[in-house]
Structure 1
């Protein structure tokens, strides 16, 4: 029994560590020639979640109970709605299931993470994620220094940039979204009390590296998403912080490359291109698809994302909410937006009402900022179409509640599990 318990703990520990380093692990498994031929790269994350799911069911039957985040019922309801959409179209079950998996699979993390992770382990997982981010950001900096070649479509007509960093993601927009998630977490750790001066200096250095790499992506959507998220956090914490963020943004806007890139948004040429074959045109196309079935849409996996691109050759919508509208109609879009709103509201209530700010716990502030930034960035990119970003979003949403238990004095999950096994 003791040996079985040790094996379980090893599997759980290493499984979550691999998932915490998701972008790097996935890249290595998919691009190492020997491993690539085994197709492990396409199933490794599902296998880990499946094993966790087995442990979850087995131990739940045995009577173990764990406190879940307050929004777990909303997540469960949305996932069941997705099952309903899948049942509505059984003409191509494999396609529909693939479409369901792309949207809903990583939401299981909301149920699994609190079952296996306590506050201290959550911090170790955050550190693993951040060190993975350091390697990814260093690759981006290297690409920018050596002027890595990029497709012409990544630069607006008449605009001149030395390059756009994309690191292991193959897209500067996805890298930008990844960095707006990682940057505030590192900054939050650097400001959190309880760490040594050396540790806070390291986290501050990480934050600066992430900010530099974010600049090198030249991704306006990520810049704006981070700015808006920081404004929200500034307004929640202290009006002086809010004013400081505004002043910092004004100062940064004088950087020639940033000024040129952002000012391009206000030119007639940009809006003309956007209306002809850019984001405006693609959003209007998703609306046209939705009009054929306004309530339920075209069906999961049928338009605007990776699954539809593979099966039907349709273009990406460049707006995850528009993609949801096309595939799931008005019911699906409103349900999804309501879910994200509840997640954001519950995190706000959990942090603000319990006065975590007074404890100097800016880890939560950093996590919240990154979560909001990814939500906002999805309005101009299909960020949740990228498995690494989809997983990391729900992973960080879970960790913020797990870590906050340390402040409120709740029993850690590991201690609870050990007590149950001992009994």
Structure 2
């Protein structure tokens, strides 16, 4: 008889016991969820227990192996919005979801709080570094100024509880930048797993999007179109996620080999297809601009391939042209806006009418959608209205600092003339430049700052770029 403490005649290791316990727990949770879901119980009855157990497990991982914790967080974050406790109709109508008491127990919210606590604790434990090993000061200073402006907006907030939640979102974004930078700066070998986790996060959203398009299940009716949302709660959020990961993926194609390149090609193709399916015009434009930036900085063949791909989409998917055809008409015969762009212009004017209430610190983060019952659809206007002139200047300063970080990374990885060898650092520098450019463009018409998952992955790329941009720092 095989002893209880052995596996095929040898003692079990600590890892094997942990894997066995995790497997048993996963089976129990799967059975529980299946029974509860089949019984017709509310979503919270099966989502909350799983979320609490996972939060406990991740807490242990964060304490014992922080790098593994971050890899897991990045790999699963893109799939967690599908587990929100709010109804999908209410969330889509609100352009991303109104803050509610139940949203505090969403798996994504619980993960954000856990990451903030773990990330801050980890950074404190690491302590200060010598000045020569620190990143370019533009981003830390701009991040501190931006966070300060967000805190200042709480003073005149018309919904303090909502604004606190938004401030925590911003804090998580900023912590992610510095956690990634410190991790990779201390040990460059961590860069691969972090990038791998980011790219792996795109698999489930792409597969779910394909399922929705093929079967028609899970589509939402917006602008008279049935549009997929993937694992998110709005097609625009799916579009933002797709272009962010896709641009970095295109940049890294030149710097990976073998199966990694094949997997990246398939992922980029899947993300591009999902992006087209979203019918998110702003995301389309941002993606094209970001890819063109990559082509200019890395290889002109990317530009030619992008133009060929756009031509192929226009021919194969006539609905893409139809999405732009209504822009030629401003108003219908009944006096209503004929397209979402005209609607946005009118809405921006309506939103800025709130500014005189508190022009210095604004109405408070997250309050515009509560007052106007709809999202602002412009992050620059949103920053002005919700955090005042101080907040807008700080937001523009942070954007400028991210571009400075991109420039530093590009300079630190300038290719040697005549030498075309793989250089992941160069791919990161080029990809981040394309991503931050696309982000700045997308912010003109979308609610990217409220798309937490998109901001987290942008923060990862920013942290990697900061590490690349440290003069004399070895990142190979």
TM-score (norm 2): 0.71
Unaligned runs of 5+ in 2: 1-59, 87-101
Tell me what 1:143 maps to.
212
Write the mapping of 1:21-420 to structure 2, written as runs, cut at 5 A. Answer: 21-24=75-78, 26-27=80-81, 30=84, 39=105, 41=107, 42-60=109-127, 67-70=134-137, 71-86=139-154, 88-89=155-156, 93-117=160-184, 118-148=187-217, 150-152=219-221, 154-156=222-224, 163-192=226-255, 195-237=256-298, 242=303, 245-246=306-307, 248-255=309-316, 256-269=318-331, 272-274=337-339, 278-304=343-369, 309=370, 314-352=373-411, 354-356=413-415, 359-361=421-423, 362-402=427-467, 410-411=473-474
Q: Verify the 8 A CA contact 1:183 1:370 in the aligned structure 2.
A: no
In structure 2, distance between residues paired with 1:231 and 1:175: 21
Q: Verify the 8 A CA contact 1:188 1:366 in the aligned structure 2.
A: yes
Whose radius of gyration is greater, 1 or 2?
2
Q: Quote the offset at 1:145 in angstroms.
A: 0.7
Q: Quote the offset at 1:178 in angstroms.
A: 0.3
In structure 2, distance between residues paired with 1:104 and 1:7: 22
Q: Quote the offset at 1:200 in angstroms.
A: 1.1
Does the residue aligned with 1:183 lie in a helix, a strand or coil?
helix
TM-score (norm 1): 0.79
Tell me what 1:14 maps to.
68
Q: Quote the offset at 1:120 in angstroms.
A: 2.4
Q: Verify the 8 A CA contact 1:119 1:404 in the aligned structure 2.
A: no
Cα RMSD (Å) of the superposition? 3.5
In structure 2, distance between residues paired with 1:235 and 1:64: 33
In structure 2, distance between residues paired with 1:78 and 1:301: 15
Count of residue correspondences: 388
Structure 1 pair 80/38, CA: closer, same or farther in 2 (3 Å)?
closer
Q: Quote the offset at 1:238 in angstroms.
A: 5.6
Q: Quote the offset at 1:40 in angstroms.
A: 6.6
Structure 1 pair 120/265, CA: closer, same or farther in 2 (3 Å)?
farther
Q: Verify the 8 A CA contact 2:157 2:367 in the aligned structure 1.
A: no
Unaligned runs of 5+ in 1: 1-5, 414-423
Tell me what 2:19 maps to.
none
The runs of 4+ residues in structure 1 deviating greater than 6 Å are 6-9, 61-65
Tell me what 1:420 maps to.
none
Q: Verify the 8 A CA contact 1:183 1:207 in the aligned structure 2.
A: yes
Structure 1 pair 402/28, CA: closer, same or farther in 2 (3 Å)?
farther
Q: Verify the 8 A CA contact 2:376 2:447 in the aligned structure 1.
A: yes
Q: Quote the offset at 1:382 in angstroms.
A: 0.9
Which is worse superposed, 62-71 or 381-390?
62-71
In structure 1, distance between residues paired with 2:340 and 2:78: 36
Give deviations 1:387-416, integer Å, cap 9, x for gaps: 2222222222112333567xx762569xxx
Tell me what 1:421 maps to.
none
Does the residue aligned with 2:116 lie in a helix, a strand or coil?
helix
Q: Quote the offset at 1:377 in angstroms.
A: 1.5
Structure 1 pair 8/128, CA: closer, same or farther in 2 (3 Å)?
closer
Q: Quote the offset at 1:225 in angstroms.
A: 0.8
Q: Quote the offset at 1:140 in angstroms.
A: 0.2
Q: Verify the 8 A CA contact 1:320 1:382 in the aligned structure 2.
A: yes
In structure 2, distance between residues paired with 1:207 and 1:196: 15
